[in-house]
Amino acid sequence: MRIKLLGPAALAAALGGALLLNTSVLPTTTARAETNRAAETAAPSTSDADPAARRAAATPVGANGQLAVCGTKLCNSQGNPIQLRGMSTHGTQWYPHCLTSGSLNALAQDWKADVLRVSTYVQEGGYETNPQHFTNLANSLIQQATDRGMYVIVDWHMLTPGDPHSNLSKARQFFTDIANRNKDKNNILYEIANEPSGVSWSRIKSYAEQIIPTIRGIDTNAPVLVGTRAWSSFGVSEGANESEVVNNPVRASNIMYTFHFYADSHRDEYLATLSRAADKLPVFVTEFGTQNYAGEGNNDFAMSQRYLDLMASKKISWTNWNFSDDHRTGAVFKTGTCNNPGSWTGMAPLKPAGVWIRERIMSPDAFPVG
């Protein structure tokens, strides 16, 4: 599948999240402007509550509460299937300066995103170089997303080596630390292996069945997202398909399986696999792009829309790659935006892919009522 994007080394540890760690934010997300945002009616009545309570009820987390897997769907606290839509960060070792109070306000309030995926790379100048630093960065982003009423995917962004067992001890430590800090929140999802590759499904399953108990021993409620074979393609990129997961699922409850696609590279075979898999398994598309598998090149918006239509029809949640100003076409912001931010809102700071995905995130959620 996709060769993971490499960011400029100059932005590595030196930036270190100095801007990110400024956690000053507006009060919990302001009331959403569009009255057709169904979340505003999904929450219990707050007509007699104070303004802060009304604002909280209007956010995705306020409307839906603690999530759980029910059958093949992701469901809210009332047991109703929902679809979350949002963005994935790029690696926090490269682009912490794109994750500021202003940009996250824009994501929550202008884009009206439901979810932020926080991508902590393991290698490539990431977690293994300074575990405490990158754990702190993840916790800061988790809190900032929480303050804005968004859900958070904690992404253990293993890529190379492709065997998740290679980083098993590091993963245990990371998820222990993150879960201990955030176990009382109701907006967390744990993604335990970004893109396994070059290993069998049974090997990935073995890893999952060791990491999930680590998380469950601390946080008993949060859904866990399990990466699939061949760069989270259900094995398609290595000649397999979803049947190996269907026939040999992870022995754990409240879990989902991840699928990644890049529309200009991954065509009908991948789309069909996603459709079949979602009829039999709970699936979360934690990463996709409108470009080729490297997140660059031309945007194929027509193929991307076919995927989005399928995901809407089956309530498959998704996060788009990526919320940065990387030079590749898959980054939503124009190159240089994060170093010289003016306004983060609207279309002016966005590349074509950013304009396209913002419009689709902004469309009403239609969260179920009651």
Retrieve residue 70's tokens.
């029910």
Say what the pTM is: 0.86
Amino acid 48: pLDDT? 47
Distance, CA of 52 to CA of 31 (rounded, Å): 9
**Does pLDDT of 28 surpass 80?**
no
Residue 87 is inside which H or E element, if any?
A: strand 85-88
pLDDT digits (tens, 9 = 90+) for 123-139: 999 999 999 999 999 99
287 part of the active site: yes
For residue 195, pLDDT beyond 60: yes
Q: Give tens-digit pLDDT for 233-267.
A: 999 999 999 999 999 999 999 999 999 999 999 99
- pLDDT at residue 76 greater than cutoff 70: yes
Q: Helix, strand, or coil here: 120? A: strand
Does the pLDDT of residue 22 top 50, yes or no? no
What is the spatial distance between Cα 352 and Cα 279, in angstroms, rounded to a whole number?
32
Q: Is residue 213 reached through a cis peptide bond, with omega within 30 degrees of 0 on the bond before it?
A: no
- Asked if residue 328 has pLDDT above 70, the reply is yes
Residue 107, C-beta contacts closer than 8 angstroms, at least 6 positions apart: 86, 87, 113, 116, 148, 150, 323
Using the CB atoms, write b or e for 269-297: b if 16+ within 10 Å.
ebbebbbebbeebbbbbbbbbbbbbbbbb
Closest CA to 333 of 133, 111, 42: 111
The mean-pLDDT minimum among 130-134, 157-161, 339-343 falls in: 339-343
Q: C-alpha angle with apex 119: 194 to 362, nearest 5 degrees?
A: 105
Per-residue model confidence (pLDDT) at position 340: 87
What pLDDT score was predicted for residue 364?
86
User: Taking the CB of residue 80, how many other CB atoms lie within 10 A of it?
Assistant: 16
Is the separation of the CB atoms in 120 and 155 below 8 Å? Answer: yes
Angle of helix 168-182 relative to helix 201-216, nearest 10 degrees, comes to 30
Catalytic residue selected from 191, 195, 242, 296: 195
Give pLDDT, residue 369. Answer: 66
Angstrom distance (rounded) from CA 303 to CA 152 = 27
Q: Among 204-208, 271-275, 362-366, whose mean pLDDT is lowest?
A: 362-366
Q: Binning pLDDT at 50, 70 and 90, where does residue 61 land?
A: very high
Q: From the candidates 40, 191, 287, 296, which is the catalytic residue? A: 287
- pLDDT band for position 187 (cuts 50, 70, 90): very high
How many CA atoms within 13 Å lie on the side-chain side of 32?
A: 27
Of the chain, the percentage scoring pLDDT greater than 70 comes to: 84
User: What is the rounded average pLDDT of the residues 83-92?
Assistant: 98
Mean pLDDT within 22-34: 35
C-alpha–C-alpha distance, residues 12 and 243, integer Å = 40
**Residue 20 binned pLDDT confidence (cut-offs 50, 70, 90):** very low
Catalytic, 269? Answer no
* Side chain identity, residue 219: D
Residue 7 has pLDDT above 80, yes or no: no
Whether 221 has a pLDDT exceeding 90, the answer reads yes
Rg (alpha carbons) of the chain, rounded to whole number: 19
pLDDT at 282 over 70: yes
Asked if the bond preceding 322 is cis, omega within 30° of 0, the reply is yes
pLDDT value of position 50: 60
Cβ atoms of 53 and 149 within 8 Å: the answer is no
How many C-alpha atoms does 87 have within 13 Å on its Cβ side? 32
- Give 81's DSSP letter: B
pLDDT at 52: 59
